Amino acid sequence: MARSAAYRPSPAELAAAEGATVPDVLAADLRVLFCGINPGLWSGATGHHFARPGNRFWPALFRSGFTPRLFRPDEEAELLELGLGITNVVPRTTAKAAELTAQELRDGGCNLSDRVRKYRPQVLAVLGLGAYRTAFARPRTTVGRQPDPLGETEVWVLPNPSGLNAHYTLDALAAELRTLRTALE
């Protein structure tokens, strides 16, 4: 069940969210399908993508110019009107993405490829370098546009917006997203 942005799950609700899934925000022919690694417990408990306070996806999306204002996780469905969507490489929630196995990521990459071919977004933007490397067997991948599309969909790899990713500041994340947005224009 999806909950409002003001909802704060209890520790018991967070623990109970382990292994839950969050529905994709998806439609055919999107401009960009953003793809997280997998939902965190906060997302599993609230039913919304990138829901944990401190996750920088929503502020970076706004600062990059993809959205006209700062959206809340419970407003994620409004992204569809902007030609944007959200999915994950692996659907099950965990406390940390490091809990996923390499096989889960590889299987998730296959499933993601099928979703991309079915829904045909212009761009797939995977938000997690390490997850992309494992899911698609591309160990030398770097951030940015990738040389190999999925069908007719261009692939970009961008930094993970989790607050745990200390390698990128909010401004640096927004700059990477802005590079993608500019390339689309």
32 in a structural domain: yes
Q: What CATH code is carried by the domain that includes residue 32?
A: 3.40.470.10
14 in a structural domain: no
Residues 6+ apart with CB under 8 A from 152: 120
pLDDT score recorded for residue 2: 64
pLDDT score recorded for residue 140: 94
pLDDT score recorded for residue 123: 98
Predicted confidence (pLDDT) at residue 1 exceeds the cutoff of 60: no
119 in a structural domain: yes
**For the chain, percent helix, then strand, then coil, each to nearest 5?**
40, 15, 45
133 in a structural domain: yes
Q: For the chain, what is the domain count?
A: 1
26 in a structural domain: yes
pLDDT digits (tens, 9 = 90+) for 53-99: 889 999 999 999 999 999 999 999 999 999 999 999 999 999 988 89
Could you list the residue range(s) of the whole structural domain that residue 133 is in? Answer: 21-184
47 in a structural domain: yes
15 in a structural domain: no
